[in-house]
Amino acid sequence: MTNKIKEEIEILKKDKNAIILAHNYQSKEVQDIADFVGDSLELCIKASEIKDKDMIVFCGVDFMGETAVILNPDKKILIPDANAECPMAHMLTGEQVLAAKEKHPNAAVCLYVNSLADAKQYADTLCTSSNAVKVVESLEQDEILFGPDNNLGDYVRDKTSKKIMAITEIGYCYLHKKITTEDVEEKRKEYPNAEIICHPECDMVVQKACDKVMSTGGMVSYISNSQNNEFILGTEVDMKHRVEKEAPGKKIYPLREDSICEEMKLHTLEKIRDTLKNESPQITLDENVAKRSMKSVKYMIKVSK
Ligand code: 13P
Ligand code: SF4
């Protein structure tokens, strides 16, 4: 059955002149059928470079699809399950960004790419976990309004002399927030030879308890080039599949087996096939919101290249 669906997807992809992009947190099957798998920044850059396709099937969450719409106003951006909404991105509204700007008129606004276009349209720049420090350092202002992830905000504050100000009191990723220092200690005992790497969406105490902190893309390249053989990853469980594929032979253990992004997992092979067949669900944005958001997306891409 699975093979039949895979064949159908391949045929539909050709017929529709489509490309499938997938985030590192997608299930094994979805990662394997995708034309390109990456972290948030890699997906943004890839989406900005697609010239010869008519549609993009985005196997990620809503804010990623929206960013693809901003970068490709002339293409159809499809998402296999329209309910794939990142709860963190929904913790920040455009109104909250505007209110913070009014309170701090001299500050620059740097938003995590995990935010909706409603908020992005008022940002000076975006950042991802792989370029946040570089992007913040590139801004001429010393005061930076940051959101929605306050753990990534803490990570950047720790690494720069700029004044990082959280836009909202609450802003977090539920599965990274659940990881504790006790989890780190337990796993260290279980696998004493393994290096422990967590994502900057984890709490600062957890970041400090781990050996390294990096984005999902950073994990892939770091592990591929490392002399070590065992790694414990404090992030979504399906990073294991991505890293094992890119760095065969390395032993990968999730820091917590229940670190699952339920929203990313909504996409299935069946839904990808149906999305291609029906050219729906499609992600759309108000034209003006998309135009206003372009500035911050482009600034981030320029600084990251
Ligand atoms: P990166 O893939 O950029 O590390 O981000 C992780 C994430 O939580 C995406 O939603
Ligand atoms: Fe959002 Fe967290 Fe899922 Fe990333 S892992 S999409 S931040 S809920």
pLDDT digits (tens, 9 = 90+) for 43-81: 999 999 999 999 999 999 999 999 999 999 999 999 999
Confidence tier at 305 by pLDDT (50, 70, 90): confident
- Please give the pLDDT value at position 2: 86
Ligand 1 centre from 170 Cα, in Å? Answer: 18
Q: Where are the domains of the chain?
A: 2-86+264-284, 89-172+289-304, 179-254
- Please give the pLDDT value at position 153: 98
Checking if the pLDDT of 1 tops 80, the result is no
Whether 33 and 83 have beta carbons less than 8 Å apart is answered as no
Whether 128 and 299 have beta carbons less than 8 Å apart is answered as no
Ligand 2 centre from 11 Cα, in Å? Answer: 31
Tell which atom from ligand 2 comes closest to the C-alpha of 173: 2
236 lines ligand 2 (CB under 6 A): yes
Ligand 2 centre from 4 Cα, in Å? Answer: 31
Ligand 2 centre from 172 Cα, in Å? Answer: 9
d(CA 2, CA 272) in angstroms, rounded, equals 12
Closest C-alpha residue for ligand 2 atom 7: 173
Ligand 2 centre from 106 Cα, in Å? Answer: 30
Whether 76 and 65 have beta carbons less than 8 Å apart is answered as no
Query: 8 is written with which tokens?
Result: 């159908």
Closest C-alpha residue for ligand 1 atom 2: 39
The label of the residue with tokens 């135009």 reads: 291
Give the architecture (CATH level 2) of 179-254.
3-Layer(aba) Sandwich (3.40)
62 lines ligand 2 (CB under 6 A): no
CATH of 89-172+289-304, one of 3.30.1330.40, 3.30.920.30, 3.40.140.80, 3.40.50.10800: 3.40.50.10800
Checking if the pLDDT of 114 tops 90, the result is yes
Dihedral sign of CA atoms 254, 258, 259, 263 in order: positive
Model pTM? 0.96
By most ligand atoms within 8 Å of CB, the mutation choice from 37, 91, 199 for ligand 1 is 199
> Is 89-172+289-304 in the same CATH topology as 2-86+264-284?
yes
CATH class of 2-86+264-284: alpha beta
Arithmetic mean of pLDDT over the chain: 97
Give the pLDDT mean for 165-180: 98
Closest C-alpha residue for ligand 1 atom 9: 40
d(CA 143, CA 145) in angstroms, rounded, equals 7
Ligand 2 centre from 114 Cα, in Å? Answer: 8
